Amino acid sequence: MRLLDRPSRPARPFPRLRGRARPSPGGRPRPVRELLLIAALFGVYKLGRLLSSGRVAEAFGNARRVWDLERALELPSETGVQHGLLHSDLLVHAANTYYAAVHFPAMAAFLLWIYLRRPGHYRWVRRIVVALTGAGLVLHLVVPLAPPRMLTATGMIDTGARYGPAVYGAPQTDTMANQYAAMPSLHIGWAAVIALGLVAASRTRWRWLWILHPVATTMVVVATANHYWLDGVVALALLAVATAFLRPPRELCRPGDPGAGTGAGQGAG
């Protein structure tokens, strides 16, 4: 058959559409989407904390039980930690300032850095933050807890109110924060996430020094009478569960990194 005699194929009305390529694990998410996601998470968290306020009697009952449990477990006394802090006016002001000024700015700066410099790790960290904060909100709703600065049995004082700078007003009139949401301590939990993310994403041999951030945060929140030891223990336990199920993508892991290895949750970046 000659070439001109071959029947022509019918023209397709539309070209075949190819599926959109999936973004690589190291791709940077869209900034507007991420800002909206983080803003929505923060709004839901603040709203949930406010909705859980008002259960004052239950919060103080839980506080007494937590205090008694810590004594039964023979944990170090938070009162002794605070007494050590009160020997120095400079340390008291430094601790109060750290508690008031580091929590949110440190997390914001960390997320911005890891988004710009380590976008592959950012996806993993973002999921960890969402999981930890969501679990913390559930516990705040289920287990209202008055901090040690409110519990007379601890013998502790509110260092922020006494020496400044103060973060909270009177609990009866404070409409910006739920002061009966001590467990878990997201100050400690977020500080641990920052250390975990920087250790995993950094390449310097000095990266392990970031562990000092959650250590310092723990001492600050305890010494200022804003949290019990068990508040930090619960926060770290929730973080451990989150990292067990939400591992970084395999190609981002180096031997010895946190989250390295195989598991059902690996690759959830």
Q: Give residue 112's pLDDT.
A: 93
Q: Which of 212, 54, 68 is nearest to 148 (CA)?
A: 68
For residue 195, the one-letter residue type is: A
- pLDDT > 50? residue 18: no
Distance CA 201, CA 106 (A): 16
Model's pTM, two decimal places?
A: 0.81
Q: Which residue type occupies 99?
A: Y
Say whether pLDDT at 220 is over 60: yes
Least trusted range by pLDDT, from 52-61, 100-109, 185-194, 203-212: 52-61
The answer to which of 102-111, 148-157, 171-180, 252-261 has the lowest mean pLDDT is 252-261
The string of DSSP letters for the chain reads --GGGSPPPPPPSSPPPPPPPPPPTTPPPPHHHHHHHHHHHHHHHHHHHHHTTT-HHHHHHHHHHHHHHHHHTTPPPHHHHHHHHTT-HHHHHHHHHHHHHTHHHHHHHHHHHHHHH-HHHHHHHHHHHHHHHHHHHHHHHHS-B--GGG-GGGT---HHHHHS------TTT--S--TTB-SS-HHHHHHHHHHHHHHHH--SGGGGGGGHHHHHHHHHHHHTTS--HHHHHHHHHHHHHHHHHSPPPGGG--TT-TT-S--TTTT--
Average of per-residue pLDDT across 114-140? 92
Query: Averaged over 185-193, what is the pLDDT?
Result: 97
The domain locations on the chain are: 62-68+78-165+178-250
Is 102 a residue whose pLDDT tops 90? Answer: yes
Statement: residue 15 has pLDDT above 90 = no
Question: Which of 253, 15, 8, 13 is CA-nearest to residue 124?
Answer: 253
- Residue 266: band (very low, low, confident or very high) from pLDDT cuts 50, 70, 90: very low
Q: Is residue 243 over pLDDT 90?
A: yes
Q: What share of the chain in percent tops pLDDT 70?
A: 77
Portion of the chain with pLDDT greater than 90, in percent: 60
Query: For residue 159, is pLDDT > 90?
Result: yes
- Given this model, what pLDDT does residue 261 score? 47
- Please choose, from the candidates 269, 240, 264, the residue with its C-alpha nearest in 3D space to the C-alpha of residue 253: 269
8 or 172, greater pLDDT: 172
pLDDT tens by residue, 246-260: 987 766 665 555 655
Q: Residue 106 and residue 131: Cα distance in Å, rounded?
A: 18
pLDDT at 238 over 80: yes
| Token code pair at residue 227 | 């949290």
Task: List pLDDT tens digits, range 37-87.
Answer: 777 877 776 676 666 666 889 999 999 999 999 999 999 999 999 999 999
pLDDT at 145 over 60: yes
Tokens at residue 134, please? 């969501």
Q: Lowest-confidence range among 71-75, 144-148, 182-186, 201-205?
A: 201-205
